[in-house]
């Protein structure tokens, strides 16, 4: 990944509430989505670039806003924004992936993650009245129906560069095995665990043990 802090300062991204935001809780697929967008548009989403070392522009700014009740000031404004893409994912997968990535046990950290993601969905999915324009993108839709989902984002951003064949080729190039070098901070998870039977078996056990409880916690919140 490349440091594009000069571009961020030049565009005044963090301070400008009208600069497009991509908002997502950790482990909801934001890096994958950003990589596909960067391949397609040849420009990144701040605060980092995966492919373009010295971009002339950025299409948006990515923030997690993980702590809804105590937002981190380094991410800039998280209310009264002009244009937001909200990327979200099935809570069971999000919580499992967070536990794996952060190397924490469900016994010690499950309740914290449940409460954090519930707050996130309640705010961004269910109560975005202060946001002028918001586009909802579900991770599962981007995976199962990628072109329609991607085209919706392009339309939302008023991007006229529409090429389905080019997108489908890029979508293949941005798969986990092909894009692994661009996810340097994720290598420990991807290379050692994600494609292994141990990872799959552990996730099955996690779902058996906690899946029903998590689903009940998010009933009426996740949709």
Q: What is the tens place of the pLDDT at every residue in 47-65?
A: 999 888 888 889 999 999 9
Q: Domains in the chain: how many in total? A: 1
43 has a pLDDT exceeding 60? yes
Residue 196 reports pLDDT greater than 60: no
Contact present, 85 and 30 (Cβ < 8 Å): no
The CA distance from 20 to 88, in Å, is 17
**pLDDT grade for 191, boundaries at 50, 70 and 90:** very low
- Domain membership of residue 222 (yes or no) is no
Residue pLDDT, tens place only, 116-166 = 999 999 999 999 999 999 999 999 999 999 999 999 999 999 998 889 999
- The enclosing domain of 13 has a CATH number of 3.40.50.300
> What is the distance between the alpha carbons of residues 145 and 67, in angstroms, rounded to a whole number?
30
Query: Is 203 domain-assigned?
Result: yes
Tell me if 144 is assigned to some domain. yes
Mean pLDDT of 92-119: 95
User: What sign results for the dihedral spanned by CA atoms 75, 79, 80, 83?
Assistant: positive
Mean pLDDT of 27-32: 94
The reported pLDDT for the residue numbered 8 is: 85
In the predicted structure, residue 77 carries a pLDDT above the cut 90 = yes
- 204 part of a folded domain: yes
Measured distance CA(76)–CA(89) in Å, rounded? 24
Helix (H, G, I), strand (E, B) or coil at 33: helix
User: Whole-number mean pLDDT of the chain?
Assistant: 90
Average pLDDT over residues 166-190: 69
Indicate the pairing of strand 48-49 with strand 2-3: antiparallel
Indicate if the pLDDT at residue 34 is higher than 60.
yes
Q: Is residue 73 part of a domain?
A: yes
pLDDT above 60: residue 190:
no
Q: Is pLDDT above 70 for 4?
A: yes
Is residue 68 a part of any domain in this protein? Answer: yes
For the cut 60, the answer to whether the pLDDT of residue 182 exceeds it is: no
DSSP characters over 88-140? E--HHHHHHHHHHHHT--HHHHHHHHHHHHHHHHHHHTT--TT-SEEEEEEHH
pLDDT of the residue at 189: 46
- The Cα–Cα gap between 170 and 181 comes to 16
- Residue 223 resides in a domain: no
On the question of a cis peptide bond just before residue 84, with omega within 30 degrees of 0, the verdict is no
Q: What is the pTM of this model?
A: 0.91
Please state, for a pLDDT cut of 90, what percent of the chain lies above it. Answer: 72
C-alpha to C-alpha distance for 31 and 89, rounded to whole angstroms: 13
Per the structure, the complete domain to which residue 87 belongs is given by: 2-217
pLDDT band of residue 200 (cuts 50, 70, 90) is: confident
Name the E strands within the chain: 2-3, 21-24, 45-46, 48-49, 60-63, 83-88, 133-138
Alpha-carbon gap, residue 21 to 32, rounded angstroms:
16
Cβ count within 10 A of residue 16: 14
Cβ count within 10 A of residue 187: 11
Measured between alpha carbons, how far is 216 from 131 in angstroms, rounded to an integer?
28
């Amino acid at each position: 990944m490349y440091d594009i802090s000069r571009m961020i300062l030049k565009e005044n991204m963090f301070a400008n509430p009208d600069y497009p935001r991509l908002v997502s809780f950790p482990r909801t697929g934001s890096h994958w989505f950003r990589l596909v967008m960067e391949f397609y548009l040849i420009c990144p989403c701040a605060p980092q670039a995966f492919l373009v070392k010295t971009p002339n522009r950025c299409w948006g700014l990515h923030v997690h806003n993980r702590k809804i009740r105590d937002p981190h000031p380094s991410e800039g404004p998280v209310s009264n924004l002009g244009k937001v893409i909200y990327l979200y994912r099935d809570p069971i997968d999000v919580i499992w992936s967070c536990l794996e990535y952060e190397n924490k046990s469900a016994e010690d950290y499950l309740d914290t993650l449940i409460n954090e993601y519930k707050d996130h969905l309640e705010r961004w999915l269910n109560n975005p009245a202060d946001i002028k324009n918001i586009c909802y993108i579900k991770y599962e839709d981007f995976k199962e129906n990628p072109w329609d989902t991607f085209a919706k984002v392009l339309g939302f951003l008023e991007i006229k560069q529409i090429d389905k064949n080019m997108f489908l080729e890029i979508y293949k190039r941005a798969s986990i095995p092909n894009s692994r070098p661009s996810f340097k901070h994720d290598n420990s998870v991807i290379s050692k665990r994600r494609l292994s039977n141990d990872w799959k078996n552990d996730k099955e056990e996690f779902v058996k043990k906690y899946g029903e409880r998590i689903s009940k916690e998010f009933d009426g919140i996740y949709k």
